[in-house]
């Protein structure tokens, strides 16, 4: 698996050769520079617009006064990815050789090999991982930090382990409000759902109050931020690879597409819950469930971009490799489907076009989500039979 992924990675990197890397860092630097010069950091006439909350902009501005922003963010990215690797490696070393949730020992690769192959597979799945890492978008590394925090909480005890991931979710939600979805992870993993629901509700209320206060404190900056976000999302149809984006291309009605997105998201959450609800809450099954739920809740994001999907795919492939004896075959099928756009681009370069597959709809979006749905479904059915 690693060998096949390495070849695919070389192909994607060859295609990306000559293009700039960490282009999103240039957007952050431009916004900070505009703020310092008294210009509008949310202007839309300078390439990609800056679409983060004014509080995030102020934080980046202060950070840039202490350390060059690009250097500071690259260091933060490295720490985030390193923390994720440490926590995921600890979990995999502890659980790779244990029996599956069904109570049957399955031949699994060694822990570190499992993690490496999962990361590599996600990296080349439709090219989303390569794009995420090369873009330098802050969100990718926010995800890795949050995953690491949840894994750390699983292996430790006490109030800090209970509340640290929730606190990090609230902090990251100022940058990307859809991170609030991950407040559901403790609710889905525990048997004491009442207590976790109360904590999640309290955290959500605290976030709402803080968001409204910040909007009232800087109404002009907030209005500019919302205008830039609306311009980028709806004006330029930059809705990512979510169910919502797919449905929008089909029904061309925002509210109907959002309703269908909610239905699809609920179905996936119910599938994931059904997979584990009757299993004992052992350390193994709870840990595997975390990786699955992180993927499913990411799919519920109505503006899921590459930098959201990539970390979630890493989680999902770890889940498959530690839970299903047929993980390698299933992942390979998903990878093969996700490479269809790459093959089509080669065919088009040779002068052959297929109108149906080369229209406005994003081919990768369709086949990639189909592969995820297929993989999750096959895994669920396999688990029910064991």
Contacts of 90 (CB under 8 A, 6+ apart): 151, 155
What pTM was computed for the model? 0.85
Helix (H, G, I), strand (E, B) or coil at 304: coil
Tokens of 119: 């990361």
**Taking the alpha carbons of 273, 119, 165, 260 in that order, is the dihedral positive or negative?**
negative
Q: Please tell me the distance from the alpha carbon of residue 372 to that of residue 218, in angstroms, as a whole number.
A: 41
Q: What angle do CA 131, 132, 134 make, to 5 degrees?
A: 65
Asked if residue 28 lies in contact with residue 71, where contact means CB atoms within 8 angstroms, the answer is no
What is the enclosing helix (H) or strand (E) of 186?
A: helix 184-189
Task: Note the pLDDT of residue 382.
Answer: 52
Tokens of 214: 């910040």
Identify the CA nearest to 92 among candidates 332, 319, 359: 319
Per-residue tens of pLDDT for the chain, all 386 residues = 666 667 666 666 666 656 678 888 999 999 999 999 999 999 988 788 899 999 999 999 999 999 999 999 999 999 999 999 999 988 888 775 554 444 434 444 456 777 888 888 888 887 788 888 888 899 999 999 999 999 998 888 777 777 889 999 999 999 999 999 999 998 888 777 788 888 889 999 999 999 999 889 889 989 999 998 888 877 777 777 788 887 887 888 888 988 998 998 898 888 778 776 655 454 445 677 888 899 999 989 988 888 998 999 899 888 888 776 677 777 777 777 777 776 766 555 544 444 333 333 355 555 555 565 555 655 555 544 54
Asked if residue 365 lies in contact with residue 244, where contact means CB atoms within 8 angstroms, the answer is no
**Phi and psi (nearest 5°) for 252?**
55, 35
Task: Note the pLDDT of residue 101.
Answer: 44
Q: Please tell me the distance from the alpha carbon of residue 261 to that of residue 259, in angstroms, as a whole number.
A: 5
Task: Note the pLDDT of residue 16.
Answer: 62
Task: Note the pLDDT of residue 46.
Answer: 79
Task: Note the pLDDT of residue 48.
Answer: 84
Task: Note the pLDDT of residue 27.
Answer: 92
Asked if residue 87 lies in contact with residue 151, where contact means CB atoms within 8 angstroms, the answer is yes
**Taking the alpha carbons of 362, 116, 289, 204 in that order, is the dihedral positive or negative?**
negative
Q: Please tell me the distance from the alpha carbon of residue 193 to that of residue 190, in angstroms, as a whole number.
A: 6
Q: How would you classify residue 38: left for phi > 0, otherwise alpha for psi between -120 and 50, otherwise beta?
A: left
Identify the CA nearest to 89 among candidates 106, 114, 120: 114
């Amino acid at each position: 698996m690693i060998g096949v992924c390495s070849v695919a990675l070389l192909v994607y990197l060859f295609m990306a050769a000559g293009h700039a890397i960490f282009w999103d860092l240039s957007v952050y630097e431009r916004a900070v520079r505009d703020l310092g010069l008294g210009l509008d950091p949310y202007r839309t006439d300078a390439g990609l617009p800056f679409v983060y909350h004014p509080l995030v902009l102020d934080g980046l501005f202060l950070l840039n006064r202490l350390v060059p922003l690009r250097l500071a963010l690259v260091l933060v990215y490295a720490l985030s990815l390193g923390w994720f690797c440490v926590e995921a490696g600890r979990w995999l070393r502890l659980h790779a050789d244990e029996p599956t949730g069904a109570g049957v020992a399955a031949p699994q690769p060694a822990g570190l090999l499992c993690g490496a192959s999962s990361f590599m597979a996600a990296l080349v799945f439709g090219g989303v991982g390569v794009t995420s890492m090369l873009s330098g978008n802050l969100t990718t590394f926010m995800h890795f930090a949050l995953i690491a925090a949840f894994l750390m909480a699983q292996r430790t005890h006490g109030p800090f382990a209970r509340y640290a991931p929730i606190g990090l979710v609230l902090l990251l939600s100022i940058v990307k409000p859809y991170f609030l979805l991950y407040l559901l992870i403790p609710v889905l993993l525990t048997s004491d759902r009442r207590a976790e629901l109360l904590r999640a509700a309290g955290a959500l209320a605290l976030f709402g109050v803080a968001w409204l206060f910040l909007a009232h404190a800087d109404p002009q900056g907030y209005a500019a931020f919302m205008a830039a976000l609306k311009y980028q999302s709806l004006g330029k149809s930059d809705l990512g690879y979510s169910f919502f984006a797919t449905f929008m291309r089909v029904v061309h009605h925002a509210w109907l597409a959002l309703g269908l997105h909610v239905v699809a998201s609920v179905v996936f959450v119910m599938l994931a819950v059904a997979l584990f609800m009757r299993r004992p809450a052992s350390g193994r099954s709870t840990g595997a469930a975390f990786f699955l739920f992180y993927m499913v809740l990411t799919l519920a994001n109505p503006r899921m971009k590459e930098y959201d999907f990539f970390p979630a795919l890493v989680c999902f492939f770890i889940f498959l490799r530690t839970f299903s004896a047929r993980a390698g075959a299933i992942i390979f099928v998903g990878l093969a489907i996700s490479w269809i756009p790459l093959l089509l681009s080669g065919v088009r370069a040779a002068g052959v076009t297929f109108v149906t597959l080369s229209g406005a709809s994003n081919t990768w979006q369709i086949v990639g989500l189909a592969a995820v749905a297929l993989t999750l479904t096959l895994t669920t059915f396999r688990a029910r039979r064991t």
